[in-house]
Structure 1
Amino acid sequence: MTDHMTTQRLILRMPEQRDAAAIAALVGDLEVSRWLTRVPHPYGLKDAHEFIARVAVGSGHTFMICVGDQVVGCIGTQGELGYWLGKNHWGQGYASEAARAMITRHFGYGHNELQSGHFMENAASRHVLEKLGFVRTSQEQARSPATGDCHVLQRMVLTQSRWEAQT
């Protein structure tokens, strides 16, 4: 199993304990965590260490997104495609670039589809997923652990055949 990947601008690698402070600072920002379905707020150093420990014993489908040595976000395909970027790194195409590598890896393991989703108010995430070829499937109510607010979660799917047709 690959423990790191490189793209044109990014390094995707397994989380390490030395990443805890960066993870806590980036995803601890409410502007980031409010869009996620699994991250509480506040999110501190202890939370980051626990996340890294869980990932270390997991199936190896979660990667830190790095620009050089700097952690800028996280991406994974554990059950579905999920990702976050620190606010200072939004709008630079990092999510799409990292997701392309993860999707290629996912389908390389013989999977036929990949699920994902976004809160309806998160237009940036919707744009990323649509650009990658994901199509809408259903909607459900989901709570943001960071804010406690309930949102409409737009579920989406990308099939291997659709991915191959556009790449």
Structure 2
Amino acid sequence: ALTALTGDFRDREEVTLMPFGSEVKRVTTHVVDPADPQAGLDGIRRDTERLTARGDTAIYTSLEKAYDRLGGGDDTFTSIVLMTDGENTTGAEAADFDRFYGSLSADRKEIPVFAVLFGDSDHAELAHIAELTGGRLFDARKGSLDGAFEEIRGYQ
């Protein structure tokens, strides 16, 4: 379960959760403060326990919103982890996202997308996103979600 991953977050790490379906459902950000790391971890755990799958799947529109929110240009390592058990069914299409990504500033283009395959997600769709953004595709269908996150950690 995703909630088991909260022990893997580091001090001063900022985690923004953007669950989506047909659109982004909500945005919550938690910081693992060295003075009180448990508060941040509890917030991440609470919000991941609230995750539900319903509605269509707006992968590209949600990625655009994530890039808009994250910005870029500071000295921290910023990445997007895209997890979906389906394929894009609504909103922006791949070509729309390609144009959006092409229009980003150089510092924002440095933000990679690490896509995690599980369920019925579309391998080609997620591989394209990872390749375009300088990220990587991880297949949690053959292993565990924890294993995928461990591999992602190796790139940060």
- Between Structure 1 and Structure 2, the one with more helix by share is 2
- Between Structure 1 and Structure 2, the one with more strand by share is 1
- Same fold by TM (over 0.5)? no
Q: What's the TM-score, normalizing by structure 2?
A: 0.32
Question: More relative contact order in 1 or in 2 (CA 8 Å, sep 6+)?
Answer: 1
Q: What's the TM-score, normalizing by structure 1?
A: 0.31
